């Protein structure tokens, strides 16, 4: 267990510092932030949860999803560094599909359903598809909102 933690920490440092040549060429678990940065073009660094604040003054932020935008999850006990996903498709006013990495076992997933369950419909609380169960996850995850890439 301790060796696995060291391995994950080394990967995080490698990807955060840009020491790995690219997400696609690394043969191990892929972290969400480097993947989202590569796919979206939103050039932010650090913990996924910090992206919302790092984007201020550099990227437009919104509480409405748009294809290509980055959904930023807040840090929580389940995801201590937060999480980021790239919006691929709008399905309904309260359901989107995202591409992201490391939600399940360090791998990349495409067209993953995410639904807004916030009382005000502002995407501040979501549920995410859980592939191992083949259904929407039961846990609710708080989010900041969406970072819009520069066009």
Full pLDDT tens readout for the chain, 151 residues:
444 443 444 444 344 433 333 344 445 689 999 999 999 999 999 999 999 999 999 999 999 999 999 999 999 999 999 999 999 999 999 999 999 999 999 999 999 999 999 999 999 999 999 999 999 999 999 999 999 998 6
Q: Residue 121: give the domain boundaries.
A: 32-148
Rounded CA-CA distance 98/7 in Å is 27
> Would you say residue 12 lies in a domain?
no
Domain count, the chain: 1
> Would you say residue 125 lies in a domain?
yes
> Would you say residue 27 lies in a domain?
no
DSSP letter (8 states) at residue 132: T
| pTM, entire model | 0.82
Of 85, 79, 132, the residue nearest 104 (C-alpha): 132
> Would you say residue 41 lies in a domain?
yes
> Would you say residue 82 lies in a domain?
yes
> Would you say residue 15 lies in a domain?
no
> Would you say residue 124 lies in a domain?
yes
> Would you say residue 101 lies in a domain?
yes
Q: Which helix (H) or strand (E) holds 83?
A: strand 83-92
């Amino acid at each position: 267990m301790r060796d696995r933690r060291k391995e994950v920490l080394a990967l995080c440092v490698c990807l955060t510092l840009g020491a790995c040549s690219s997400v696609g060429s690394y043969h191990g678990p892929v972290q969400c932030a480097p993947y989202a940065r590569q796919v979206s073009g939103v050039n932010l660094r650090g913990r996924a949860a910090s992206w919302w604040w790092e984007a201020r003054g550099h990227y437009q932020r919104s509480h409405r999803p748009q294809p290509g935008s980055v959904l930023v999850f807040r840090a929580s006990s389940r995801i201590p560094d937060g999480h980021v996903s790239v919006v691929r498709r709008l399905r309904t006013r309260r359901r989107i599909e995202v591409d992201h990495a490391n939600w399940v076992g360090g791998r990349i997933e495409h067209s993953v359903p995410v639904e807004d369950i916030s009382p005000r419909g502002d995407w501040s609380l979501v549920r995410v598809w859980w592939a191992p169960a083949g259904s929407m996850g039961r846990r609710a995850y708080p989010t900041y909102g969406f970072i819009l890439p520069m066009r």
